[in-house]
Structures are given as structure tokens and as C-alpha cells.
Amino acid sequence: MKVFTPACMCLGLILSCNTYAIDAQATFSELDKDGNGTLSESEASEDAVLHESFEQIDKDQNGQISFAEFKQFLQ
Ligand SMILES: [Ca+2]
């Protein structure tokens, strides 16, 4: 019996990962009103969930949500 990974399965996985990355980036950019690459508490308050979980997302407690922290939160 041949063991192989269906190409379509791999491709689907890659595509869904890429789509996810683009969506996360797009959402982050949209919230980052001043475009400085981090979300302040007032920028995050545009989104109810982010506002609610701000302290939880802000792992290093610097009062800003970085894209890395944002991505971690989405996972
Ligand atoms: Ca910002």
C-alpha cells in the first residue's frame, strides 16, 4: 500500500494559513488608526472583544498590543 499525502490537502492547509495571516494583518491594520504598529487601549476599544480582554492580550503589560500579541490572542 502506498502512503502519500494528498497534494490538495497540503495546499488547502497552506492556503487557509495564508488567508488567516492576511485576515489577522488586515484586522490589525484597521484597528491601528495611527499606523504605529501597536494598538493602544483606545484603538483596541474599537473592538468589544479586544477591549474586554486588553490586559490579557497585552502580555508584556506595556499598555500596547503588538501584532505578535494580537496573533497569539487569535490562535
Ligand atoms: Ca497604534
pLDDT in tens, 9-33: 555 655 666 666 668 899 999 999 9
Cα-to-centroid distance, 14 and ligand 1 (Å): 29
Q: Which residues surround ligand 1, an ion (CB under 5 A)?
A: 32, 34, 36
Q: Looking at residue 51, what is its pLDDT?
A: 95
Cα-to-centroid distance, 30 and ligand 1 (Å): 10
- pLDDT over 90 percentage in the chain: 65
CATH architecture of 7-74: Orthogonal Bundle (1.10)
Q: Looking at residue 37, what is its pLDDT?
A: 97
Strand positions, DSSP E, the chain:
38-40, 64-66
Cα-to-centroid distance, 60 and ligand 1 (Å): 16
Cα-to-centroid distance, 1 and ligand 1 (Å): 55
